[in-house]
């Protein structure tokens, strides 16, 4: 299995040094980290045990187009729902990886992995569907896209639809502009996509934690980057919140 993610220098110093170290220790499959080529010297100096891939010119063109458009809107960039620039890195990484391989797993860079993650994940995702993801239809929310499997030979059309939404600035016609909302708009209710939450009867707003209980993967969203999972998180899962 090939694993991909993206990160910039500032976020590496914030949390990536810790999270990526866990990946190198746990994963047997190759890791591909997509970066801004302007930061190439920084990444080369770290000696990380992974493949460091520059965004190509097509990806950079879209990222810059999104950045310029977002800056012109004058929105509150602290609201993740409208952080189109930040999440464009993820979309471009997935699109670029799809040009080079038949299948891969995307993992958000703020995830800490522990022993036996690959054994667990191999039992969770579907090898026969085009995309395996943690849906949250039961919450009437967008999917959790911090951990997603792509069978590129089948999912290419979805990946291209999302890429085009960013490239053509069509994402600004959606209610929210982050990758999870856009991806969900294209994969929800598709029979050729595999909703892990539906399969395992997950009902909380944090389905990865609900399924794994933080044993093999801890997705440290928001303040959890500093605090980790709290008792409140587990209570929320128990109550299906």
Q: Tell me the per-residue pLDDT of 152-193, one tens digit each, with 9 for 90 and over.
A: 988 889 999 999 999 999 999 999 999 999 999 999 878 899
pLDDT band at residue 81 under the 50/70/90 scheme: very high
Given a cut of 60, whether residue 238 has pLDDT beyond it is no
Counted domains in the chain: 1
Residue 173 is predicted with a pLDDT of: 96
Residue 101 is predicted with a pLDDT of: 85
pLDDT band at residue 108 under the 50/70/90 scheme: very high
pTM of the model: 0.91
Higher pLDDT: 231 or 95? It is: 95
Tell me the pLDDT tens digit for each residue of 199-231: 999 998 899 999 999 999 999 866 555 555 554
Question: Range of 165's domain?
Answer: 3-238
Asked whether the beta carbons of 65 and 169 are under 8 A apart, the reply is: yes
Average pLDDT, the chain: 91
Higher pLDDT: 136 or 234? It is: 136
Percent of the chain scoring above 70 in pLDDT: 91
- Give the CATH number of the domain where residue 109 resides: 3.90.550
Tell me the pLDDT tens digit for each residue of 31-70: 999 999 999 999 999 999 999 999 999 999 999 999 999 9
Residue 231 is predicted with a pLDDT of: 44
């Amino acid at each position: 299995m090939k694993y991909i993610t993206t990160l910039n220098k500032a976020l590496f110093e914030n949390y990536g040094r810790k999270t990526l170290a866990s990946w190198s220790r746990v994963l047997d499959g190759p890791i591909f980290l997509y970066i801004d080529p302007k930061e190439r010297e920084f990444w080369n100096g770290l000696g990380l045990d992974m493949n460091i891939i520059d965004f190509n010119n097509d990806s950079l063109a879209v990222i810059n187009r999104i950045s310029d458009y977002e800056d012109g809107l004058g929105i509150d960039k602290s609201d993740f729902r409208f952080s189109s620039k930040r999440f464009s890195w993820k979309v471009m990484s997935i699109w670029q990886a799809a040009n080079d391989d038949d299948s891969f797993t995307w993992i958000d860079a703020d995830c800490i992995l522990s022993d036996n993650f690959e054994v667990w994940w191999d039992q969770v995702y579907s090898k026969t569907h085009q995309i395996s993801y943690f849906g949250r239809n039961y919450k009437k929310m967008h999917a959790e896209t911090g951990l997603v499997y792509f069978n590129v030979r089948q999912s290419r059309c979805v990946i291209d639809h999302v890429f085009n939404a960013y490239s053509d600035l069509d994402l600004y016609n959606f209610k929210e502009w982050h990758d999870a909302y856009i991806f969900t708009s294209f994969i929800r209710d598709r029979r050729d996509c595999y909703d892990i939450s539906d399969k395992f009867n997950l009902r909380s707003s944090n389905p990865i934690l609900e399924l794994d209980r933080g044993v093999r993967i801890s997705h440290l969203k928001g303040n959890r980057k500093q605090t980790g999972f709290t008792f409140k998180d587990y209570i929320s899962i128990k109550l299906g919140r």
